[in-house]
Amino acid sequence: MALPTHRTAYGVKILNANHKEIRRLKREGHVAELHGNKFWNSSFLIMNYLKKNPLKKKVRILEIGCGWGLLGIYCAKEFDARVTGIDADENVLPYLQAHAQINKVEIVGEKVSFQQLTVERLKNYDIILGADICFWDEMTGMLFNLINRAKKAGVETVMISDPCRSPFTALAERCKKKYDKVEVVAKHLSRPVKASGEILIIDL
Ligand SMILES: C[S@@+](CC[C@H](N)C(=O)[O-])C[C@H]1O[C@@H](n2cnc3c(N)ncnc32)[C@H](O)[C@@H]1O
């Protein structure tokens, strides 16, 4: 029996490695270099949270370290959100566009690193989302500084999910010390896959 070439979760189509579009992009040499080679389950933690705590319609979202961008795509589909996905690795962007197309939404994808997101640029967004983006020690400081710039820019909320690696836990601790409204929500999902971790939510 042929293996399925895609799956659907939270209303979003996710292409499997054997899908012809994914195979074509790999053949063309789009090989991710910073772990953006697949869709990571931490995005499901935020999707699950947002299903119960919906966003206002047409909110302006920046998904950072977007990889294949499924979290942003979920927000575009579910909340008619205006979504930009940024990633330091340009090789992930064709995978983001392939998923946007198959999910019939428009997403802007740009090669930009966390460090390059200036206050001026961040003024264009209401919410910053990120899934599984705090996995090396140096990312704690990078993301903490980014959150500080987001505050200056008037961003309302930052949400970052993670399977609880130590750089993420360190980031949560630093945010709790600096900001008044910080929540860390633990999530244990059994569907669509087994996934557990935490969502750091900073109400700026
Ligand atoms: C583990 S993947 C997660 C991808 C996606 N968020 C998901 O959940 O499927 C981490 C992503 O962060 C990106 N990344 C790593 N360092 C970055 C940086 N300094 N600035 C922007 N993106 C970065 C990688 O290229 C990769 O796409």
Per residue in 123-181, pLDDT (tens digit) is 999 999 999 999 999 999 999 999 999 999 999 999 999 999 999 999 999 999 999 99
Q: Is residue 1 part of a domain?
A: no
Ligand 1 within 6 A of CB of 198: no
- 184 lies in which domain range? 6-203
Q: Enumerate residues 6+ apart whose C-beta is below 8 A from 52.
A: none
pLDDT 10s digits, 134-145: 999 999 999 999
**Probe target for ligand 1 pocket from 45, 133, 147, with the most ligand atoms within 8 Å of CB:** 133
The alpha carbon of 17 and the centre of ligand 1 are apart by a number of angstroms equal to 18
**Probe target for ligand 1 pocket from 15, 87, 107, with the most ligand atoms within 8 Å of CB:** 87
User: What value does the mean pLDDT take over residues 96-100?
Assistant: 96
- CB–CB of 105/76 below 8 Å? yes
Give the chain's domain count.
Answer: 1
- CB–CB of 82/58 below 8 Å? yes
- CB–CB of 65/114 below 8 Å? yes
> Is a pLDDT exceeding 90 seen at residue 2?
no
- CB–CB of 61/75 below 8 Å? yes
Ligand 1 within 6 A of CB of 68: yes
User: What value does the mean pLDDT take over residues 55-81?
Assistant: 97
Q: How many helices (H) and strands (E) does the chain have?
A: 7, 9
Q: Is 176 helix (H, G, I), strand (E, B) or coil?
A: helix
Ligand 1 nearest-atom number relative to CA 67? 27
> Is a pLDDT exceeding 90 seen at residue 88?
yes
pTM value is 0.96
pLDDT confidence of residue 38: 63
Confidence of residue 12 (pLDDT cuts 50, 70, 90): very high
Q: Is residue 140 part of a domain?
A: yes
Confidence of residue 31 (pLDDT cuts 50, 70, 90): confident
Q: Is residue 74 part of a domain?
A: yes
- CB–CB of 135/111 below 8 Å? no
pLDDT confidence of residue 125: 98
Q: Which of 110, 112, 134, 111 is nearest to 42 (CA)?
A: 134
Ligand 1 nearest-atom number relative to CA 33? 25
Rg (CA), the chain: 16
Ligand 1 within 6 A of CB of 174: no
Lowest-pLDDT range of 11-15, 25-29, 65-69:
25-29
> Exposure pattern of 76-104 as b/e (b: 16+ CB <10 Å)?
bbbbebbbbbbbbbebbbbbbbbbbebbe
Q: How far is the CA of 188 from the CAs of 106, 165, 167, in angstroms?
A: 30, 15, 20
pLDDT 10s digits, 35-48: 767 678 899 999 99
CATH number of the domain within which 37 lies: 3.40.50.150
